[in-house]
Structure 1
Amino acid sequence: MASREFLKILSSARLGDVLAQQKLAEAYMTGAFKTPIQPGNALIWLEKSYFSIKNQTLDDQHSITYEISELFTQVANIPLVETFNSPAFGFGWTLFWQLAEKTVQDQSSLAAKWQLANLLINPIYQETQSQLVDWINKSTTVPALEQIVNLDFADLQKLARDYLQELSEIDSPLTVSAKELLIKLQPKNEALSSLWNAWLDKQDEEALVQAAERGLTIAKLTLGLRLAQLDGSDTKSNASLKKAAHWLELAAKDGDRDAWYVLGEIYRRPQFSGYNAAESDRCFDRAADLGHAEAQLRKGANLWRKREKSEEKVRGLQASYWVWQAHQQGVVEAKELLSKILESCPNIKSNEWFELAQYAEHAINHHAEHKLDEDWLLLCHRIVIANQFNFSKAELLLCDVGQLQHEHCVVVDIRWELPKILPRLIQIETIQQRRALLAAGKAFAGSDLEIEGNLRQRRYRFDRVTNWLIATFSKGSKNQADAELA
């Protein structure tokens, strides 16, 4: 049975509320509100949101451009292959090609290239690919991009393979997946398969060496690991470690993250003649970049130890990112270190702004009814965010809302006005926190930067707005507001 919150969002989405349509799509992608994960339905609602934004008046082109950019980022993360039978597939197909062919490469463009490559050339989707050929031949909605309009399916597959090769050669979260698919697409080598199977079935050492010499990445890694045998002891000889490093370096050049990590361990061994702490760190960093969880923790911990010497604008931000990545992959030790770097405030009911934030959110949802001026509306968004992340009053009034959100945390830096107040890093832990940031980001993106004024003006406005919120919603409307925000 659908939750009350889901039904409320669904109702608003059906009435054309752009933010509600995007929230609904997010629910279908993540399973929020106990919603079944259905990428096809997510794409349908993002298509509706796209046309809702496009149909807005052109008075504020900057705001529309920002909203569409945010929507493209959301669309690019949808697994296109799972939406093939969706009514919105034509919209997704067109949009993914547009994103892939963007002049400026960003995360949405790279994600689109991966989704197209995965759909068009991944051998596990051969049945869908054959159906896609028929769809392209029959459909009248094939994208009219100059780059692909005259291409047949084989040419599209070649273009998708070029995308895959490009992704495998750059550093991005998709690099590992791209390399794995490229390996899967390599022609089958019966001799290599036979040698590898001989190792798996019979533990034939000679077969393992031959497979490694013939270029099989997993054989290079396996041979390097066997020669290294890093079990915590220091008894391994230098000669054996040099041989291990040789094979691991070959596997690492193929993009194997485990090989990079073990190389980092070897370069730290005191009995290894090539001992080099700087090279060890470089190998760990490379493994972390490729998604190795333990390497991500080590990289984060190393950055945290050296934070005082770091030249980054907000100390600890890079360290927190890598430790958070390790924590996301289930590394137990990362949780304790993350708690030292990032503040946590998931329980908004214990914050001093809780009651006022409820009134502010009610005012935002009914701003047309109350005829709120833009500067008052922006302050209401500030109050909601302040409650979600337990800001001080100074942080509430002065934070740069457009620069708050990072992938894993909020950075509160008000030194531009109060130099002695150090920045704070606060972990983003709930869906409500992300929604508040998204809504505020959209509101501030389309506003005049000068409308909020200086600190004195903001304090004066804060007093007026809070008095109005309390007077308007604390009596009579309080129960209604609580019910809507539950």
Structure 2
Amino acid sequence: MANREDLAIIRAARAGQPQAQLTLGKRYLTGGNGLPQSLQTAMHWLERAARADQAEAWSLIGAHIPFELATQAADVVSFSTWYERAFEQGVLEAGLVFAKLVLAHPALQQIDGLHGKAIRMLESAARSGTAEAQWLLAQHNNQGGADAVKPARADDTGGSGFEAPAAAQAWAERAAEGGIAQAQYLLADAAWENADRAGYLQRALPLARALRAQYAGQVAQLHAPSPALGRQLGAGNLLLLSRCCDALLQSGDHDPDEIQHFWELAAYADDKAAQFALGLWFARMRADGVRSNLIAGSANYKKAVRWLTLAGEGGLAEAWYALSRIFLKPEFSQRSLNDAQYHLERAAEMGHCAAQLECGIGAWRSRRDAVSNDVRAVYWLQKAAAQNNLEAIALLAKITDAPAPAPWAEPARQQLTRAIVNAYPFLAARIELAALFGLTQAEALLIDINEADQGHCLVVDIRAQYARSKRRLIPIAGTEQRAALHRIGRLFEDVDCSASGVEGNYRQRLYRLKTVLPQALPDADAEDEAALID
């Protein structure tokens, strides 16, 4: 509660006495004697005193009223005058606030000469060692030449000129040395982009260590990753921690415990990339399963499996692939070929090229164990080939038959009239299929459309009815083939394609073909009869 002296000063200030307004503003700056500390109230009374030409008032405004409060003034343009005057009286802090006001408010920038004056004030504050001013000047100079100004000269009345980008770098370095975290992050990122790992560690390692010290207690209480911790750290800090670990590993001179602590902090913050890296760290291996020469010590596969599983469940295909490598290791007590295959297929399903290739090769090698394994092999190899894997492309060329023109099918399709198509829809569809995929006459007439279409390839297997034939896999390429198969599949959707179906056996189908299109077909192969299996 205000005492009598304070009440008298308040009454005098309200009556318009400049000295009382100045005194009241000073008391609200510091508080005490029954009055609370209130910068906003102090700003009100000091501004009224400044309007009455109280020089001490604008000096106090320049020294104690921050930028955030100044922006709340009813008239920012007029209020900025007090910072300008305070700077002229030697208050360097006022120059920093004045420059921030000018750079933040277009109305101030439109006043002739004010922009250049603000930058010169900023330079003065920066040269005096004010880290915030150094950082603002670095940002300003980095925006482009038009906004940067040269140091003031005696004959300079406010014009601006271009400073080289090196000036921004120099001010940023001084700001970083002054403890401005944003400048430290900026310089660290620049060093990383320039592949200067030593320079990156010089800037980033103190920041990473500070983060580790700040959150060590919180991490010690966690038993599972915490998205809340991730939000506290932010994406920039998580990236910083991971990059520090990578740079330390590449340097060859590092503390393994420190690297593990950095990765654990990021991993507990639910950073999937850090969880993956931490899993590899515990497994002492690279992403391809090979032992890492950069990591010393024995592997802890139990912890590795835990973190890699979390990373895989978070959407990292590389984590599932790494898990498949772990379950193949003979030194792993829980070694399991089934688990290895399970994780390998999960990685392949998520688009991991090496996993897709391995799944394809494995399915092809075991094609005699199950009749559909060759179809699975083509599926995975096509996925890997789509990612330009040369080994997959070469193997696909060996195990599949590319569609080749069938000498009999194209002439036959050209002679199909509307009347023939309407009268013999199944025969017309088989001829079209033969022309698209290069099927022989026997394959076209005997193929079971419903079983042949596997989505990614056409399985041509008529060995049960035609002894001389071989099982063939023909990739389905292009929208024309896919659309035709879809249309033909709908036609045969509820049709029995066996010899007991509506189309009859092979002799009946062949006879129908020769009867409908006698001119388009050569004489029947004399060996066809011997090749049939009744």
User: Higher relative CO (CA 8 A, sep ≥ 6), structure 1 or 2?
Assistant: 1
Provide the TM-score with structure 2 as the length reference. 0.46
Provide the TM-score with structure 1 as the length reference. 0.50
